[in-house]
Amino acid sequence: MAPAMFIAWTFCAMLVSANLVQSIGVNWGSQSSHPLNPSIVVGMLKDNGIKQAKLFDADGWTVSAFAGSGIEVMVGIPNNQLKGLADHYDKAKDWVKENVTKQVKDVDIRYVGVGNEPFLKSYNGSHLKTTFPALQNIQKALNEAGYRGKIKATVPLNADVYEAASNKPSDGNFRKDVRDVMLQVVKFLDENDAPFLVNIYPFLSLYQSSSFPMDFAFFDGGTPIQDKNVQYTNVFDANFDTLVWTLRKNGFGDLKIMVGEVGWPTDGNINATPKLAKRFYDGFLKRMANKKGTPLRPGQMEAYLFGLLDEDMKSIDPGDFERHWGIFRYDGQPKFPIDFSGKGNNDKMPVGAKGVQYMDSQWCVLKQDTKNMTEVIPEIDYACSNSDCSSLGYGSTCNSLDARGNVSYAFNMYYQMQDQSVEACKFNGLAEVVKQNASKGSCLFPVQILSAGERLSLAYGATFIAGLLLSLFTLV
């Protein structure tokens, strides 16, 4: 690169970085049928000046993409690995060697998230006995590997680990069923100067209660509630300060708190829209930029937005919105304007992913001459149970489609998630492939991206891949 070009590029990068709220990061989940190439995602983070990323695993390909990026990384350990790490210290040492030591020379790893919301009520205590010993073993292994004070282990926790019977923050305390283990975890975090990592979702307060005042979920004028000498105008502050009270009551009032997840979904529910997501982020990022904090913890706060990309394979048990938390779509393209700096440039679109390759511009739809719609019922059930129809529900972006449109949407989602396979657009002779965009109004009929697997297939040719697979089956 010519010196003048390098100086210009460096100056632009400094401007992007200077305009970002420095305490803001993003969560990057991987439960997608066609994940973007990690190098493309890291490029997108850099283009938007995002300096912190939180992962839910420690996949080597993903983590290595951060090499030389200047982005601070939190790697994660899934819940299904907690028992092994809790029971065997050697496994914790091996995990650190494989996932930290191999990467840390090139990647700025700052934290290890041990588990992911392991004490959720819905888990019925299945991780109560394994989370804390796994946390101990991972931090011990990090220390022995020479990362004491440099890389800290913590536990990403849902805000349901604490509660307040009166809905006033000052009544907060840990849930009775997790109180003992939470005190162990908190004491350990305090001893190791590690943060309490909590996930707070104002959207869920609105989703779970029809009587919840909508404005209280945002930052622009909710009716105040009074708690002692403090007024709360939004549920985020009230929730965060419930944790502050909880820690105070248990002797850890000065423990650092980081927000591990906070955001707003854009589809899958009547209140999950790009417009409301923009309203939420505008208010939240402005507060972050102003370093306002909460009434009990004023000043700078650190938070990871949730999330970066939509994930079409997430469980929808909590609700259809689970697959639509992304600020960006599945293909890395922005959904709504967002100003990561919080400076009030609220019409600014973020920079989308570059270099994304798509499959052919074709869609799988219901045949025009289909008359007997009862034949379609088992086919649409099959398509939706094996793909993502979460945008068809009440209040969602594709809720206004007619019956034929619903069927075509389901067929196309299955077809795209099956890599546009010819066999995936048959549906007992009721479907056909068309070249005209099947999208209707605000309802997007997506064309899937080429992920790493498809690119390999195209590069070597279908005949080569078929021959390779045949040789493998011959060896069995």
Active site residue ranges:
117, 261
**Helix or strand (DSSP H, E) at 431:** strand 431-434
Helix (H) / strand (E) containing 276: helix 274-290
- Prior bond to 429 cis, omega within 30? no
Alpha carbon distance 272, 203 (integer Å): 8
For 100, the 3-state DSSP assignment is: helix
CA dist 230 and 371 (Å) reads: 64
Contacts of 209 (CB under 8 A, 6+ apart): none
Reported as type and span, the H/E element at residue 363 is strand 363-366
Query: Which DSSP string corresponds to 334-385?
Result: B-S---TT-SS-TTPPPPPPSS--B--S-EEEE-TT---GGGGHHHHHHHHH
Residue found under tokens 């507060």: 287
Question: What distances in angstroms separate CA 187 from CA 190, 303, 395, one per listed residue?
Answer: 5, 22, 44
Is residue 129 within 8 A of residue 180, CB to CB? The reply is no
- What single-letter amino acid sits at 190? D
DSSP, collapsed to helix, strand or coil, labels residue 138 as helix
Q: What token pair was written down for 333?
A: 């393209």
Question: For residue 170, what are its two tokens?
Answer: 């000052």
